[in-house]
Chains A and B, each alone.
Chain A
């Protein structure tokens, strides 16, 4: 880690930055008005897991209230309680000072609480207007609904064709629909759950402009759930910070900064800048023209820079392990998934493939899992073409993958940990067609120890492991097969800081051992901290590539948004 010689003072505009002038802030009244939403002493357990404990939250009209916390801190559970999707064990909900019982989402809607979900609540096959009126009561009036969509769209700058089928829309447009759907019910409280994970930088800025208008001009309250510090700092008025199911701090955003927020969110000084980036302190990490995130390390008080598993500054020039050339693929009903995707990953390097969600990352992951056959184009591993789509072909060719949807395709939840560790490589524990329980257990124990998997026993069903440990099982299995190429799709999504650090270290170690690592991520911070090279995927094709040292976030953002740079 060398100090950056040409550190320039041209600050990169962070994604969520918007100029804020004093007069947009209503002066704090001497007597606080009754909060729109007040949660008092909320507690909720799921079995032995304490999702929320004694959580209290006050949200005023006319403010954007940030709800900050790591994955698993209890933010989503809290909001599900407010939305009537989860029934709390203890605690009270006051709306406008009156006690309220919210039993289901329609009751929440009746109270004026509306939520934009992280993974959307839209029904793909229905049209935009049908989605917008879904959940209402009474007769369906098509013409009125269409007009309404146009009106609300025009008022907030969220134009969308009411007759379009949702499945034809981009993720950004879908979010517009989702917001229109919420806003047209005239909610007092609008909740957004990690709204920017599916948006380009440009779209994120537009979103926050809309939100500011919603609170400033119309006096609504907005709750912004996020684990990204920069977003919280730049978009909110006040912030409540949660950790392990409890509220650990309440701050006025103006009185705090990224560094102290990070400390409060994680509960300790961040010792590794990798972790810092994972929680979204991106603007603190990047300084244009530098290959080293020294600014970030300095900011976050790293005393032992040598411990940080930073990538080598220059990508090692190993041989090409994975080559995908001009890959085209489409769904059964002929929707294009990949449109001429081309990329190469070399031995010993980590190639980060950045992109906004829904631009072909899932298809690429499927391709490298043998789940998707190519229409045209080819995939070569170590120079040998692989039959795409044939069961197990990628695995046999030496491609290991930690898929994005670990639950769905990475493991078999109803099998034991030991069985999951050996899914693909049964030959080592098989003799004459029969599996040796003893050898299976021995191999499993070895991997459990090596990869520090926390499980009561190798025979524990996979379903009972935490997300982080399920991830470890998948990673252990894939690495144990000694792959030529390792693909990691959103490897840290949904994990807590400890698990994120673990994953990052393992990926680095894999690259050091000579494996070609392909990292698919929508989190720019993750890409920038881990990769030697960065490529950008947009609409099923790689639209730009650069060395880590040459990264310019503004250009990256434009590429991810599909604008040629």
Chain B
């Protein structure tokens, strides 16, 4: 019984990790005022590039770096289009999602990929704890990066100069502008950061958990990440809680049949998306989003 529980929980955490990486990025982008739907493209591109990079270099860890680079490049294109050329962020996001899905599918059929997976790291002593051990202390090593990343992101947004300017850009770009903050630059930087982190999330999914790349492997996880930020009411803590909930829903899909519980498989696959919709339905109105979320900034146009 304990074992079953531990298995489900451990798998929840495993499936939460890629979401959490990407959600840290999406959180930063949204606080600066961008609803970044190309986070899906960033994750998918990150996943593909990680496997490709791992195949080229023979090292899954290098794959992670390749994944982050892919996210960065996608973030760069998004940032330039939407926060330099002022193209509607959804238009850019849609085009990038379509582009990356097409590109990764195309390349998957055209280049040779080999499977690589980063090493597992069982924390000594702690991983032997009953229940908690397998759930928290027996993962692939990049998962532990979150322990440092989450506080770092919190500090970056809430305490640093950069974060202060970022929040100002998301709340009131006009005021931020007259105060001497380069709003569009801050927003571009936030999308770039989002790209790196979402790329890492996708890379972790590919070379961390699965060890290979399949066509459209993220399958909408990027959109679940956006839902997690909304679920979390634009707080980092809430966002991470959202990731955990959606990760757990995903874990149930895999675990329930193994546990002998027979639920309709389509319902289980749809569960994270349904849950995200329900969560937004109950929470969207009670939260306050950044006041200028989704609004492009052009000096002098209110």
Contacts and interface: CB of A to CB of B under 8 A. Distances in A.
A435 to B, nearest CB: 28
A138 B171 CA distance: 21
B161 interface: yes
A136 interface: yes
B288 A333 contact: yes
Q: Chain A interface mostly helix, strand, loop or mixed?
A: loop
Given A122-B175, A124-B171, A125-B291, A140 B161 contact: yes
Contacts of B288: 125, 333
A389 B92 CA distance: 36
B87 to A, nearest CB: 18
Contact of B285 (A117, A123, A134, A332): A332
Contacts of A137: 161
Contacts of B159: 140, 142
A123 B176 contact: yes
Say which size band chain A's interface belongs to.
20 to 34
A135 B180 contact: yes
B168 A139 contact: no
A104 interface: yes
A139 B175 contact: no
B210 interface: no
B57 interface: no
A117 B164 contact: no
12 contacts: A105-B180, A124-B172, A124-B291, A125-B172, A126-B167, A133-B164, A134-B164, A134-B168, A134-B181, A137-B161, A140-B164, A142-B159
B161 A135 contact: no
A41 B227 CA distance: 55
A121 B160 contact: no
A408 B160 CA distance: 35
B171 A126 contact: yes
Which residue among A108, A123, A124, A126 has the maximum number of chain B CB atoms within 10 Å of its CB? A123
Given A130-B164, A140-B164, A106 B175 contact: no
A77 to B, nearest CB: 11
Interface of B: 159-161, 164-165, 167-168, 171-172, 174-182, 285, 288, 290-291, 299, 302
Contacts of A120: 175
Given A133-B164, A138-B161, A140-B160, A123 B171 contact: yes
Given A120-B175, A121-B179, A135-B181, 16 more contacts: A85-B299, A105-B180, A108-B180, A121-B174, A121-B178, A123-B168, A125-B291, A126-B164, A134-B164, A134-B168, A134-B179, A135-B180, A140-B161, A142-B159, A332-B285, A408-B302
Contacts of B182: 104
A205 B160 CA distance: 38
A34 B291 CA distance: 45
Contacts of A123: 167-168, 171-172, 175-176
A356 interface: no
7 smallest beta-carbon distances between A and B, as pairs: A106-B180, A105-B180, A135-B179, A135-B180, A121-B178, A123-B172, A121-B175
A125 B291 CA distance: 9
Contacts of B167: 123, 125-126
Contact of B180 (A109, A122, A125): A109
A493 to B, nearest CB: 15
Contacts of A106: 180
Contacts of B290: 125
Given A124-B171, A332-B285, A136 B161 contact: yes
Contacts of B171: 123-126
Nearest to B286: A333
A135 B182 CA distance: 10
A139 B174 CA distance: 23
Contact of A126 (B168, B174, B177): B168
B168 A85 contact: no
Nearest to B178: A121
Contacts of A117: 178
B31 to A, nearest CB: 11
A407 B301 CA distance: 11
Interface string A124-165: 111000100111111110100000000000000000000000
A193 to B, nearest CB: 11
Interface string A80-112: 000101000000000000000000111011000
Contacts of A407: 302
Contacts of A139: 160-161
B129 to A, nearest CB: 38
Nearest to B169: A123
Contacts of A109: 180
Contacts of A332: 285
Interface string A228-271: 00000000000000000000000000000000000000000000
A115 B160 CA distance: 25
A242 B189 CA distance: 42
Nearest to A115: B178
